Amino acid sequence: MEGVIEQVPFDLSTQTVRELNQFLHQPADELAGCEVVVTHPNGAHNIAVGLNAPVHVTVQGHAGYYAAGMNQLANVVIEGSAGTGVAENMMSGRVHVKGFASNAAGATAHGGLLVIEGDAGLRCGISLKGGDIVVGGSVGSFSAFMAQAGRMVICGNAGDALGDSLYEAVLYVKGTIKSLGADAQLEPMTSADIETVSALLQSAGLKAEHDPSTFKRIASARTLYHWNADADQDY
C-alpha cells in the first residue's frame, strides 16, 4: 500500500549491529516504506554503515564510531551524540546528529548533508570531497584539513589551523577562528555566499537562529598548489 510507513524496531541490547546492518543492506524495494528505529544503541560502533537505499533510520541514543559510515541515499538521525567518523565517506543522503559529534565528523564525504546540532570535535570535514556539513556549535582544531571540495557552515567557533592545506572546499564561520591553517585565507562574503549559507542553514533546520550575512568566508589562497622554492612554502 502506498504511503504506509512501517516502523521496524531494532533493540541493540538484545540484537546485534550485524543483524541491523544486514536488514538495512537489503535492496531498496525491500526497504521501501520502512522506518528503522534503533533503541539502546549505547555507543555501539558501525551503526547503519554502508547504507545504499533511501531508507529512514532513527538512533535513539548515542552512537559509537562510524555511525552512518559510507552512507548513500539514506536518511539517518542520531538523537544523541556520535563517535569518531560519523557519516565518513558519505556519498549522498542525510545524516543528522542532535547531540555532539566526536573527531573526524564527515571525514572525506563526497556528497550528501551532515548536520551536527552540537559541537564537533577535531578534524571536522577532514579531506572533504564534496559533501556539505553544517555544525550548530563549534568545531575543533584541524577542521577542514585538506578539504578538497564541498562546503562547511560553522555556527559557533573554529579551533586552530582551520582549513590547513585547503583545496577547493569553502568554509563559512560565524564565531571566532582561533587560527587559520596553511593556505587558508579570509575572503569577503559575496551575495552568492550569503545565499549558499542561507540555503544550507535552511536544509539543516537552523535558519531561524543565524543570520547568514554574519558569517565569514574562508577559502584556499592556492599558494601551495605548485611547489615553489622561492615562495617559502609552509611544508
Q: What are the residues binding another protein (CB under 8 A)?
A: 17-18, 21-22, 25, 42-46, 49-50, 52, 62, 64-66, 69-70, 72, 81, 83-85, 88-89, 91, 99-100, 102-104, 107-108, 110, 121-123, 126-127, 129-130, 140-142, 145-146, 148-149, 165, 167-168, 224-227, 229-230
Cell of 63: 552512537
Give 119 or 201: the residue with its C-beta nearer to another protein: 119
* Min dist. Cβ of residue 161 to another protein (A): 10
Partners of 96 in beta bridges? 77, 115
Shortest distance, position 211 Cβ to another protein, whole Å: 28
CA 215 – CA 15 distance, rounded (Å):
45
Between residues 37 and 70, which has the closer beta carbon with respect to another protein? 70
Comparison of 106 and 212: residue with beta carbon closer to another protein:
106
CB of 201 to another protein, least distance (A): 25
Is residue 152 within 8 Å of 129, Cβ to Cβ? no
Least Å distance, CB 223 to another protein, is 11
Listed residue (12, 110, 23, 104) closest to 65, CA to CA: 104
Distance between CA atoms of 162 and 218, rounded to whole angstroms? 9
Cβ(219)–Cβ(190) below 8 Å: no
Say how many Å lie between the first and final Cα of the chain, rounded.
60
CB of 66 to another protein, least distance (A): 5
97 or 201, CB closer to another protein?
97
Please list the residues that pair with 56 across neighbouring strands: 35, 75
Closer residue to another protein, CB minimum distance, 44 or 218: 44
Considering the complex, state which of residue 17 and residue 114 has its C-beta at the smaller distance from another protein.
17
**Residue 126, helix vs strand vs coil:** coil
Q: Shortest gap between Cβ of 65 and another protein (angstroms)?
A: 5
φ/ψ region of 61 (left if φ > 0, alpha if ψ in -120 to 50, else beta) reads left
